[in-house]
Amino acid sequence: MSDEDFKIFIGDLLDYLNSQEEAIKRFKEQIAKLIGVRPSIPELTFNVLKWQAEKGAVLGDYEVSYRNQNILENWLHAFNILKANNSVISNPFHLEGYQYRYWIYPEKYDDRIFRKKLSKEVSE
């Protein structure tokens, strides 16, 4: 096997292993969803995204992360977590210790994630 063939083989093997890792991650998320357990997800998953401040009449101050303004892989990972957990405005996603609540609006937008600072009563 030539050096070039070996490099191609290693590249293909890494691609395969990465796809398996992603499939396992999705499988674990589905199991957690079926048994009603939210997996432990650090808030850093969402904090690495770029956020823009917005203000609404009903929501007040909140932030939006747009897909086209972020590293696609990071944004899709966060979006898929919210989608898998049915995290809409009436059922926002946040875990213990989070500073924000996160949600999507899949009926209208597939290119943005929303967040709003948790109140002290909710975060404690």
Give the model confidence (pLDDT) of 94-117 as tens digits. Answer: 998 999 999 999 999 999 999 999
Could you identify the residue written with the tokens 């990972």?
A: 77
Output the six-digit token pair for 123.
């975060």
Q: Do residues 106 and 82 touch, judged by C-beta distance below 8 A?
A: no
Residue pLDDT, tens place only, 15-61: 888 888 888 878 877 777 776 655 578 999 999 999 999 999 999 99
Separation CA 78–CA 45 (nearest Å): 6
- What is the pLDDT confidence band of residue 124, given thresholds at 50, 70 and 90? very low
Separation CA 91–CA 7 (nearest Å): 47
Looking at residue 117, what is its pLDDT?
96
Output the six-digit token pair for 115.
């967040």
* pLDDT at position 71 over 70: yes
Separation CA 97–CA 117 (nearest Å): 12
Q: Which residues contact 99 (CB under 8 A, 6 or more apart)?
A: 43, 117, 118, 123
Strand order in the sheet with 112-117: 52-56, 60-66, 112-117, 100-103
Question: Is residue 75 helix, strand or coil?
Answer: helix
Looking at residue 29, what is its pLDDT?
74
Which tops the pLDDT comparison, 71 or 22?
A: 71
Cα-Cα-Cα-Cα dihedral of 101, 34, 79, 38, to 10°?
40
